[in-house]
Homo-oligomer: A and B are copies of this chain.
């Protein structure tokens, strides 16, 4: 059997046709023992894809998988690796199986694929990860180390400086004879962790085919990068809509795909002819790119019980409670913004969202604005609150005025002799 082929049938049968020691990487996304049938229609309702994940019992499932995993091991090269995608329901059974077949010493990593996803309230923590077991066939296996960016909190100087141990065995930065720090060799970055933060294939993504359980190409990209070089052979015995094969093709690897469903094979074929890969904006830009607020505003909002809104020009957040049936919007006055402008933006955005009550937090007092601790704009149902900073400054100014006019000595080095000042605050 030569590479780059799609095969329809039980992967046990097809695997038997494949030569021993011929495959570099196997990725499996087998049925998960969910005891249900998966059905999904394409967006235009033209096609329905389904597969059954129902079993007599765990043993039935275990045996089914064992036969196929054993064949997988046979066809792998000695330097080959297998990545098995699991979910909660069967993962410990699958890991036991892999341990039995490949040996516990060949477990290289337990990879956690972590993502955020549409949610719902439920009486547990929100399930937002899946597990991929990474085993090698032998001690000597292909592994391309991937480096990632240093985290923002990392002190780069620390990394780039050369280090040595001093006479006490302590770690110090190496300096030259004049006491200047010697820069160390160029660092490549942090080796990739076993927890992968890759966005879940968004419901709206073009990449979606309508096939259930479809995985993002980005996930497979990473696996292929780690375990293969160009020209190597990638095998997916449960290929479904063919994500693995598309990723392999785009990276110039050879591929073999197997699936029992004729429809799946057809779909995979058409995807391979015209591969669409959604480059995740989120991944490219990073989550911070979506955060449009300055640090001060962000901090202030965080100190309140509000839900922060990122994509609205007028509203910075909503309180987590309603007022007479409608949401309460909130805005923090921006540094370069007059009171009037802040108010205008908040009111017009709130109007669109049917917010009855609005809250504006004043962060600086311009010349034209009048002092008043808190006030309500009755015409607009707008509550205006001074920020703590504004409040504090206001009082301190008043106190300073008073102490000046009264010529009170306020500074004491002896705390037992504290004088009090009498004052009237508005």
Smallest distance from the beta carbon of A263 to chain B beta carbons, Å?
A: 21
Smallest distance from the beta carbon of A65 to chain B beta carbons, Å?
A: 15
In the complex, chain B residues whose CB is within 8 Å of the CB of A421: 378, 381
7 more CB-based (< 8 A) A-B contacts, given A151-B290, A354-B415: A114-B195, A152-B287, A183-B326, A304-B388, A305-B389, A324-B411, A385-B388
Number of copies: 2
Smallest distance from the beta carbon of A332 to chain B beta carbons, Å?
A: 9
> Is the C-beta of A164 less than 8 angstroms from some C-beta in chain B?
no
> Is the C-beta of A371 less than 8 angstroms from some C-beta in chain B?
no
> Is the C-beta of A274 less than 8 angstroms from some C-beta in chain B?
no
Smallest distance from the beta carbon of A150 to chain B beta carbons, Å?
A: 6
Return the chain B residue nearest A411 by Cβ.
B325
> Is the C-beta of A365 less than 8 angstroms from some C-beta in chain B?
no
> Is the C-beta of A177 less than 8 angstroms from some C-beta in chain B?
no
Kindly state the interface size class of chain A when it binds its partner.
Answer: 35 or more
A299 and B303 form a contact (CB under 8 A): yes
A378 and B422 form a contact (CB under 8 A): yes
Q: How far is the CA of A121 from the CA of B146 in the complex (A)?
A: 10
In the complex, chain B residues whose CB is within 8 Å of the CB of A413: 354
In the complex, chain B residues whose CB is within 8 Å of the CB of A252: none
A124 and B152 form a contact (CB under 8 A): no
Q: A299-B299, A361-B388, A385-B392 are in contact. Are A126 and B194 (CB under 8 A)?
A: yes
Partner of A108, one of B114, B124, B188: B124
Return the chain B residue nearest A89 by Cβ.
B104
Smallest distance from the beta carbon of A149 to chain B beta carbons, Å?
A: 6
By Cβ-Cβ distance, the 3 closest A-B pairs, closest first, are A324-B410, A152-B290, A325-B411
Residue among A47, A143, A193, A299 with max Cβ neighbours from chain B (10 Å): A193
Smallest distance from the beta carbon of A274 to chain B beta carbons, Å?
A: 26
Residues of A within 8 A of B (CB): 41, 47, 51, 54, 88, 91-92, 95-96, 99, 103-105, 107-112, 114, 116, 119, 121-129, 134, 141, 143, 145, 147, 149-157, 160, 181, 183, 185-195, 226, 282, 287-288, 290-291, 296, 299-300, 302-305, 307-312, 315, 318-328, 349, 351-354, 356-357, 359, 361, 373-376, 378-381, 383, 385, 387-389, 391-392, 395-396, 399-400, 403, 410-413, 415, 418, 420-423, 425
A323 and B112 form a contact (CB under 8 A): no
Residue among A110, A119, A385 with max Cβ neighbours from chain B (10 Å): A110
A150 and B327 form a contact (CB under 8 A): no
B187 and A129 form a contact (CB under 8 A): no
Q: A92-B99, A149-B308, A153-B282 are in contact. Are A195 and B320 (CB under 8 A)?
A: no
